[in-house]
Amino acid sequence: MPSVIEPKLISGNANLPLAKAIARRMSLYRGMSVGLVDARVERFNDAEIFVEVFENVRGEDMFVIQPTSNPANDNLMELLVMADALRRSSAARITAVIPYFGYARQDRRTKARTPITAKLVANMIASSGIERVLTMDLHAAQIQGFFDIPVDNLYASPIFALDIQSQLKGQLDDVMVVSPDVGGVARARELAKRIGAPLAIVDKRREKPGEIAEMTVIGDVAGKQCFIVDDICDTAGTLCKAAEVLKDHGATEVHAYITHGVMSGPAVERITNSVMKSLVITDSIECSDAARAAPNIRVLPTAPMFAQAILNIWNGTSVSSLFETETLGPIYEGIL
């Protein structure tokens, strides 16, 4: 078998702009051109997915960039079919780069006779020939344990911390980090620790899914610039309601930092008309035109982090080093 010379990237249709951005960053880091492997990922008339790789990948270290965002089933199937094509083409190793892991919210049985779909998807990915997964901000930490292959879970909080420090330029005295629910406290605490800010919680109670009966603020947010931190913004109902409650409790400004901007249905309209001064999301999911045009929505790039993580995996060096500001800061210098 020939020795592996360079990591090779291939992308499905879920987020081509991110895949191209990762390739550009890798080119910058390596001082040589890194492009996407020439391939076609198409659909037949009956919507069956077909993949053809036009370059030799025998013995190569392949990285498949494909978030499983909306449409989740199509994008997941593209990932599996690409992995099968690469495995049958004798690729040495296949790593799935999944910036947004779909079905992550189905990580446990919430009531009788319901599935744990995140585990099912993990089984499908492992059985397709994928040997490693690189993702960002899994909805639940235990999903890493659903896989029987190595999983590297990156975190957006270091990027958020760098952006907040850049935006406020050291004026962090009145900042308060807010978790929009009890389940997200660990994520919010991590960001609060990085920027040296106190932590508050918005405790929500639901009568039934999709409806919020009551919200209570735990912590004194009066006179504070509040930064809500969460992993997913879907319809934005909870987020906008939490912003209103914080303003009612005396917050001077409300901002939100969300890793994955799913932005379903009326989300963009709600955010545009909300009391939030800004919503910051990453490009783990391709941003819609409406979201990009919204005056109070901003997108942070994840390509620098993913490019470095891919190179670290290829080199066999630490991925967790990217959790540290000292390591990540130079990578984002001049970007944020």
237 is in an annotated binding site: yes
Residue 48, annotated as binding a ligand? yes
| Whether residue 111 lies in the annotated active site | no
326 is in an annotated binding site: no
Distances (CA, A) of 171 to 175, 212, 225: 8, 34, 11
Domains of the chain, each with CATH number or no CATH: 7-155+303-331 (3.40.50.2020), 157-300 (3.40.50.2020)
Starting at the earlier edge strand, list the strands of the sheet with 225-233: 211-218, 199-208, 175-179, 225-233, 253-261, 278-282, 297-300
pLDDT in tens, the chain (336 residues): 345 468 999 999 999 999 999 999 999 999 889 999 999 999 999 999 999 999 999 999 999 999 999 999 999 999 999 999 999 999 999 999 999 999 999 999 989 999 999 999 999 999 999 999 999 999 998 999 999 999 999 999 999 999 999 999 878 999 999 999 888 999 999 999 999 999 999 987 766 655 566 888 999 999 999 999 999 999 999 899 999 999 999 999 999 999 999 999 999 999 999 999 999 999 999 999 999 999 999 999 999 999 999 999 999 999 999 998 889 999 999 888
Amino acid in position 159: I
Q: Of these residues, 8, 20, 204, 277, which one is catalytic?
A: 204
